[in-house]
Structure 1
Amino acid sequence: MNHTPGLLLLLAALVPTLPAHADDAARRAEFADLSIEELANIDVTSVSRRPERLQDAPASVFLITAEDIRRSGARNLVEALNLAPNLQAARSSNANYFISARGMNGTSNSPANKLLVMIDGRSVYSPLFSGMFWDEPDVMLEDVERIEVISGPGGTLWGVNAVNGVINITTRHARATQGDLLVLRADDNGAQAAFRHGGTMNGGHWRAYGKVFALGHSELASGRAIDDDWTQGQVGWRGDWERGAERFSVNANAWRGREGQPAPGVIAAPGADVGLNDIQLHGANVTGRWGHVLDGGGSVTAQAYYDYRYRKVPPTFTDTVDIVDLQLQHTLPAHGRHSIVWGGEYRYSRDHVDNSRFVAFLPARASQAWGSLFAQDEVALRDDLRVTAGVRWERNPYTGTAFLPNLRLSWRATPEHAFWAAASRTVRAPSRLDVDAYVPGAPPYLLAGGRGVRTETARVLELGYRGQAGQIVSYSVTAFRNLYDHLRTQDLTPAGQIVFGNLMEGQARGIEAWGNVQMTQAWRLAAGATLLHEEFALKLGSQDLGSLMTTGRDPAYTAQLRSSHVIDAARELELAVRRNGVLGFPDVPAYWAVDARFGWRFAPGMELSVIGTNLNGGHAEYGVASVRTEVPRTVGVKFTWQR
């Protein structure tokens, strides 16, 4: 059913006729009150592990603000990440996503595993395969303060696996979420509801929230329904206290979900019940953070978190993991021209896999520990010239100690124009999938792990420019070249077994660019694009043509254009167009996606939104044509009440 004409007629009717409420003017879009220059002055923390102006950050970093998320109409974290032009996000089913920066977005034998994702300082990648189960990390989007997306290496400050990028999600201080919030949303393929209540306690602030959502079956390109419906719920609590120079916070979350998955070769009719094949998942985590502000501008921060996750994927495996992580960071007061930050991290996990006749992890139980130390010094050579040098030593249980250096140079040519260059080395450490995975079959295993695997390495060169033209235009351009070595392959032993090895090398080069244009006081355009070229080759001793065919088959280009228009104090209109190039083997055609949102604050504290995604029609984004689902056209209504 084509909803596009009806939605456009509705928007055309609403825009000129709905009344504006002057008493709600104070709640206008935040960005409408920020100039281009003020946006450049927003602090980011992911580049140097300390606050610095976005304009001064010597890295390719894109900032997604809370206002960007609200105006986009995104209904989950992954849809919010579509706002970042330096990410490539693709969906193969309702709950199965592939997200990466600068390519390497998964292959036939290697899920995307070179992107580090953090939520309030808690790493959420899976130690089972060094990548992301994107159906696990969830947040209440209304509580997100910002998302910092760094494309490029972050290993020196954040550790192994931050090879091609870092996504740092920060939620709001509890002080900023006082009172009550209710969110109700209904789409033609699902629904969700969320609530939040904030209050004060013992001189501090706290909030509690809960959310639940459901998605129906999706469809193949043929129109046949596939059993991938998805329901999930989550609750959480956060508290923040300040006592003079001391800062304390506690953040806890618990979640449970169920996902349909068709039995091999089975296509389900709408409403089909194949519950015995459903994926079951649940988890809980708690994070404690303490900070102390030192005289002279320095600080000491300590953080600890516990993370429990359970995933049952019939008929292949069930995985239960417990993670404890301890971190310490010391930012020294400025000493002459030097700004030094150093710290360490210890991470311990217990992983238990219930094996099956299809796949096994041997040993089934594993306890692992990672330890690291890092230090970085930023030196002001002149008032307009800075050099940053850092290094991290990180030890993993499979290959020992990795050395992760980083050197950056930043030159502020004028107050509005800055240039930077960087050279880095980073690695992806082996995971249980690389070493402990076995597939039954002769002789005596078809796949027999990879006891001799090495760390995958990347040497990265970057050159960037960030500038602005008064209050009208801002822009950022980055050129990069990644040199990869020891990439994972599947190789044959003399006995005829397949083992994981590291006999592939390659390179990626490209350009990332984005910017904003303030067309009028109430109308802003934002555009972004990425160009990417990848080349890979097998080393002597490997005949793994399958990995060679599928590695680096990422879109040669992605682009987006967004229009944000504040019509008046009560009404706003958001339009977005995205373009993705052809995805290589297995081939996925290039596609356009047109999204829209009309928001109306019809009473104080109440907002009604009409949201349409993929209004030009459904499309495929990832996977083999016979089993991948279409990302459909959806139209929905969202109601938000806040006091």
Structure 2
Amino acid sequence: MLIRPRASLLYAVCVFMSFPAIANIEQEFDELDALLNMPLDSLAETKVVTATKTSLSLSDVPASVHVITSKEIERSSARSIADVLILAPGLHVAKFSDYDWTVSARSKNQGENNTLLVMIDGRSAINPMYSGVNWDTLPVSLDNIDRIEVVLGSVGTLWGGNAVNGVINIITKDAEDAPKAQVSAAAGNYDYKEFKAHHSGQLNEYTHLSGYIESLQHSPFTDEDPHFEELRHLKVLTERFGMRADYQNQQNTVSMQFGGSSSREDYQWLQYTPAFLDPASHQNDYDAFFTEMNSQELFAGFQYLHEKLDGDQWENQVWLTHSESDGTNEPASFTRLDLDSRYTFNTQEWGILTLGINARIIDEEYATFSQEEQYFSPYVRTIEDHEFLNQSYGIYTNWSINVTDSTEVTLGNRIQYANITEEWYSQPQVRALQKLTDNQRLWMGWGRAVITPSRLELDTQFQENSYCSSCAYTINPDGSLNYYDYMMSYHYLGNRDLKLESIDTYELGYRYWQDNQFQLSVSLFYSQHDNVRAYKGLGGNRYFTPDSSEHSSGTIIDDMFAQLIDPLSQETLGGEISAQWKPTDVLQVNANYSYKTIKGGCTGSICGSNELPILDLENTPNHYATLHIMWDIHPTVWVSSVVNYTSASEPDDALIAAYKDYGDDYLVWPEIITLDMSVNWQHKPTWPSIKVSAENLGNDQLKEYPEQFGSFANGTQYYAEISWNFI
């Protein structure tokens, strides 16, 4: 089995509130109070860059955008970026194990989610080896994040491939604003231990430097099932580091970054030992053993921004990333070069015009396996062309025109070329913004985005194996039995004839804000997703060999095949509501609610006989909600809580009937209600701060996926963290 993929805090609050030393520190309230009571920025004051690639007030962005601030991250109890994302509307965050998540936007949640682009400072974090994100190994520190910008809907015009249903851009702090001389340590149940060290300083009048190191160790799962008792000793070790230098002099800004992460995951694995390969020495069907999976990533980046006095900007980015993994599901390494250059003309007469070009070059190298090795592991991914230079080039434009003093129209398009398919793709958009009043905006838009073709779906084969000796038999005329060894292999094949996946999204939104006390955002959307993938069974081949284990008459080998095809389509309809309210200087309430429903469709000969792929596509939760409360109950103490809700899915009766042998809940996404809480105490700014947190209160041993995925139950987790700034 492969190991892959939080008692009430009221007593603690009372203890901190009644701590006797508090009465003696009035002279230090002002300084600490200023640190704690950061104001809620109004929509007009909040600047975002992800939606337009230019710094623009959130109130004037004609798209569904949400910003998670560094304060909200600190007070969310979250220990990973994936857990932080429940604070944003429109995202479905599901936890598979203690270090595996899947995150989706406006679509069905799945591991290989290639419709959501995730970036760090504009650098793609998508793993091209499997078209998803390794959330646990992202090379970024939570303490170093300035904000997370979440843009829902199509952003393909500006960002290209995979910016289909949304973009998550994790923006780190400038070197000047990074933590200074900060050391922290944390410990909790399930073997959780974490150490972090951050420092920043000024090199000269124009240059600042920052850096950090982190080490995290924990159990790979928090499932208390007795079957996992012998696996309690397994550990996951993740290490990160990063360095940044920022130079700013008049109109020129230069930023250089270097960092990386490594992960070592203990797990139990097995290797089949089919008797037909070596009958004389065969003893067991498989060898079970403990081993580890290793992965690492290194990156380096250079960013240059020149801001002219007339408002024009010229920005260039260069990113170099190297990643590798030895897991059997993604046994590959890649080196990626990302180049982006854009010039923005900022004129009052013609509006804002951005022209840009980009290139992405990936040197891919997949591991090789012999014919026999492909049958030894429970699963393995293979490819014929082990080395490939993946190239993508694009040119894009985005033009915001002031039609009147209160009306703005945005036109844009991207033309992209990919050498995988040797085709060009277009990703246009049209948006409009209407200023109703000084504090109200109405916006609407349409955009088309395409999913960048990947070798994963075009060229690779994913093979699942199973083997047992003397488990198949035939009945002789006299009633006696002949026993045989049996091996079954499922081959999931890519397909070079797949059509390009495209999504058209129509949106309508409204924003309202009242100074720094209240803000409301509402968005509605409809999207049409064409050429959705599904697997079609191709039958199989049966082989027989007389070589077998001692008491068998031979070995039967079944090779079954299925191939990706693209007959499906889906219509998705929904919306998001997000509100932030600060009734007093010491209390802030954030709330969001999202709804989506999927209607599947099918074309072609395969559709008439089997509607199960359509019904499976529609099987997704419809309702999502989050409530986040941050309360500075005293200048030395703050408390926060996060309540997250996801509704259960309601599979069609025909889909349930098809899997009735597995139980009624086999395909149901379960209802999720989680409560996270944190209490933080700091006697005065020169003292350490102490935070006590709990995750998943009241819902111990909760699974967040349907039974069909074999996910782990998530236990209630507690941890305490001490952090100290020496300067």
Shorter-chain TM-score bucket reads over 0.9
The Cα shift of 1:472 comes to 3.6
Render the CA deviation track for 1:112-157: whole Å, top value 9, x for unaligned. 2111011012111022233222233131111111100111111001
Q: How does 1:148-187 map to 2 (within 5 A)?
A: 148-177=149-178, 179-187=180-188
The Cα shift of 1:223 comes to 4.6
Q: Distance in 2 between matches of 1:28 and 1:389?
A: 46
TM-score by length of structure 1 reads: 0.92
Classify the secondary structure of the residue corresponding to 1:126: coil
Q: Distance in 2 between matches of 1:29 and 1:86?
A: 33
What is the match of residue 302 of structure 1? 316
> 1:75–1:219: structure 2 CA closer, same or farther, 3 Å change rule?
closer
What is the match of residue 270 of structure 1? none
User: Is the deviation greater in 619-628 or in 193-202?
Assistant: 619-628
Classify the secondary structure of the residue corresponding to 1:537: strand
Does 2:592 correspond to 1:528? yes
Render the CA deviation track for 1:357-416: whole Å, top value 9, x for unaligned. 143122121111000011010011112111111000111123311100011110110011
2:30 is aligned, of 6, 25, 29, to 25
Q: How does 1:56-455 map to 2 (within 5 A)?
A: 56-106=60-110, 111-177=112-178, 179-189=180-190, 190-202=192-204, 203-220=206-223, 222-225=225-228, 229-263=235-269, 276-314=290-328, 316-356=329-369, 357=374, 358-399=380-421, 400-439=423-462, 446-455=491-500
The Cα shift of 1:85 comes to 2.4
What is the match of residue 278 of structure 2? none
Given that 1:25 and 1:570 are in contact with CA atoms closer than 8 Å, whether structure 2 keeps it comes out as no
| Amino acid in structure 1 at the alignment position of 2:39 | L
The Cα shift of 1:579 comes to 0.8
Q: Distance in 2 between matches of 1:622 and 1:264?
A: 25
Given that 2:238 and 2:264 are in contact with CA atoms closer than 8 Å, whether structure 1 keeps it comes out as yes
Q: Distance in 2 between matches of 1:13 and 1:456?
A: 56
Classify the secondary structure of the residue corresponding to 1:548: helix
Q: Distance in 2 between matches of 1:29 and 1:498?
A: 62
What is the match of residue 283 of structure 2? none
> 1:443–1:265: structure 2 CA closer, same or farther, 3 Å change rule?
closer
Q: Distance in 1 between matches of 2:500 and 2:133?
A: 18
Does 2:564 correspond to 1:500? yes
User: Is the deviation greater in 280-289 or in 129-138?
Assistant: 129-138
Provide the alpha-carbon RMSD of the alignment. 2.6
> 1:223–1:477: structure 2 CA closer, same or farther, 3 Å change rule?
farther
What is the match of residue 724 of structure 2? 641
The Cα shift of 1:516 comes to 1.4
| Amino acid in structure 1 at the alignment position of 2:595 | L
1:576 is aligned, of 617, 635, 642, to 642
Equivalenced residues, count:
629
The Cα shift of 1:232 comes to 0.8
The Cα shift of 1:89 comes to 0.7
Given that 1:186 and 1:636 are in contact with CA atoms closer than 8 Å, whether structure 2 keeps it comes out as yes
Q: Distance in 1 between matches of 2:420 and 2:186?
A: 46
2:623 is aligned, of 557, 565, 570, to 557
Q: Distance in 2 between matches of 1:397 and 1:24?
A: 61
TM-score by length of structure 2 reads: 0.82
> 1:348–1:217: structure 2 CA closer, same or farther, 3 Å change rule?
closer
Does 2:688 correspond to 1:590? no
> 1:369–1:319: structure 2 CA closer, same or farther, 3 Å change rule?
same
The Cα shift of 1:546 comes to 5.9
Unmatched segments (≥5 aa) in structure 2: 1-5, 273-286, 375-379, 466-486, 541-559, 652-665
What is the match of residue 282 of structure 2? none
> 1:251–1:533: structure 2 CA closer, same or farther, 3 Å change rule?
same
Does 2:511 correspond to 1:466? yes
Q: Distance in 2 between matches of 1:617 and 1:443?
A: 39
Given that 1:295 and 1:333 are in contact with CA atoms closer than 8 Å, whether structure 2 keeps it comes out as no
Q: Distance in 1 between matches of 2:629 and 2:153?
A: 27
| Amino acid in structure 1 at the alignment position of 2:604 | L
Given that 2:365 and 2:386 are in contact with CA atoms closer than 8 Å, whether structure 1 keeps it comes out as yes
Classify the secondary structure of the residue corresponding to 2:130: coil
Q: Distance in 1 between matches of 2:255 and 2:434?
A: 36
Q: Distance in 2 between matches of 1:417 and 1:444?
A: 60
Q: Distance in 2 between matches of 1:557 and 1:443?
A: 40
The Cα shift of 1:220 comes to 4.0
Classify the secondary structure of the residue corresponding to 1:179: coil
User: Is the deviation greater in 298-307 or in 585-594?
Assistant: 585-594
Q: Distance in 2 between matches of 1:192 and 1:14?
A: 24
What is the match of residue 712 of structure 2? 629
> 1:220–1:569: structure 2 CA closer, same or farther, 3 Å change rule?
closer
Given that 1:260 and 1:278 are in contact with CA atoms closer than 8 Å, whether structure 2 keeps it comes out as yes
Classify the secondary structure of the residue corresponding to 1:391: strand
Given that 2:532 and 2:567 are in contact with CA atoms closer than 8 Å, whether structure 1 keeps it comes out as yes
